[in-house]
Amino acid sequence: MSTSRSTLNPGRPHGKMTTAVLYAPRDLRIEQRPVPTLSEGEVLVRILSVGVCGSDVHYYEHGRIGDFVVRSPLVLGHESSGQIVEVGKGVSRERVGERVAIEPGEPCGRCDQCRTGRYNLCPNIRFHGTPPVDGTLSEFVAVKSELAYTVPDEISDNAAALLEPLSVGIWANRKAGTQAGTSLLIAGAGPIGLVTTMVARAVGATRITVSDINRNRLSAALARGATEIAVPGSDHVAGEFDAFIDCSGSSAAIDAGVRLVRPAGSVVLVGMGADELRLPLGMIQQRELLITGTFRYANTWPTAIALAASGRVSLDDLVTGEFGLADTEQALTAGRDPHSVKAVVRPALRGTHRAKGDKRELQPAG
């Protein structure tokens, strides 16, 4: 996929902007909205790339995820990169023109969870593209300056957007205690499973086994650092692992994975599937397994930027299709193709769809 970096004019926009708005399941409309007005401490970002996440697809298809329900028009999108075109009061004007990756969660900063560094668990967090908070599938967004991380030239616009799912993979590996020499089992080879695999390889895990029912995804996992792959029910996985990370949300995969963790090992649940699970309690007790859920991430962005900039993790290779903002609906359904890994929406992309390998330059939309 293209690794281009935008050279768009960072001048302040005027009037209206184009936005993709979800009204109800499968009711997505391309609309014109006013360009946001900045508050103190905010920056206005021209959006350059937005990764399509499974949660975006779920809202598009079902209108809800658990207790989060689309009750009024909602702009999706939370995996985002862009360029600062204007700054609010209290922000240095030297930031104008910076290419940035946007951390999509705005915590309150005052609750007990925030004060202890667990801001991902803030009960008052405002997260892009999660009802009722609008996301970034727009030409422009206003965000707090500290949530717009400057990215170096080594990181493309697409890769900068994918620092968000990379953060999920970093957090999962931190929870698992992954380090040099770790043996790790990962269930699920979708985008989150793949970035989790890439992080595990980058930090020195020596055995990384990835399972999935989709052989195309398993091939992608092998290309990104897996040392072994397995199709559940067909391939035998031998031995035990220091840790198991579930990125599938499958009850069967979780049950099987837990049984392969050695005593005092870790089980990390990342995938969102059934609300309730049946677990082998006797084995968990006898082996003193540590089981934890994950909810997004905290304090991962400097690490994500360092991994991507150094080349230890290659995010551009995950992108299998680029779409203009007018074709957001097509991007949201791209995952139905078994060969698709990651779709991104690029508001400045003219035309409809740019497949992997297409080198067309981006032009200002309009």
d(CA 192, CA 165): 6
Residue of 85, 108, 112 lying closest to 96 (CA atoms)? 85
Pairing of strands 290-293, 261-269: parallel
Mapping DSSP to helix (H, G, I), strand (E, B) and coil, where does residue 126 land? strand
* pLDDT higher than 90, residue 288: yes
* pLDDT higher than 70, residue 9: no
* pLDDT higher than 50, residue 366: no
Beta-carbon contacts of 217 under 8 Å, excluding residues fewer than 6 positions away, are: 189, 190, 193, 194, 341
191-231, pLDDT tens digit by residue?
999 999 999 999 999 999 999 999 999 999 999 999 999 99
Q: How far is CA 271 from CA 36, 189, 245, 263, in A?
A: 34, 11, 9, 23
Cis peptide upstream of residue 132 (ω within 30 degrees of 0): yes
d(CA 279, CA 130): 30
Residue 135's identity, in one-letter code, is G
Do 198 and 169 meet the contact criterion of CB atoms below 8 Å apart?
yes
38-95, pLDDT tens digit by residue?
999 999 999 999 999 999 999 999 999 988 999 999 999 999 999 999 999 999 999 9
The pLDDT confidence band at residue 355, using thresholds 50, 70 and 90, is low
Model pLDDT, residue 44: 98
d(CA 65, CA 130): 9
| Crossing angle of helices 191-202 and 215-223, rounded to 10° | 20
Write down the mean pLDDT value for the chain. 93
Domains of the chain: 16-162+315-355 (3.90.180.10), 168-293 (3.40.50.720)
Name the token pair of 340: 């698709």
pTM of the shown model: 0.92
Name the token pair of 221: 């996992």
The pLDDT confidence band at residue 8, using thresholds 50, 70 and 90, is low
What is 316-336 written as a DSSP string?
A: GGGEEEEE-GGGHHHHHTGGG
Which residue shows structure tokens 């992608």? 220
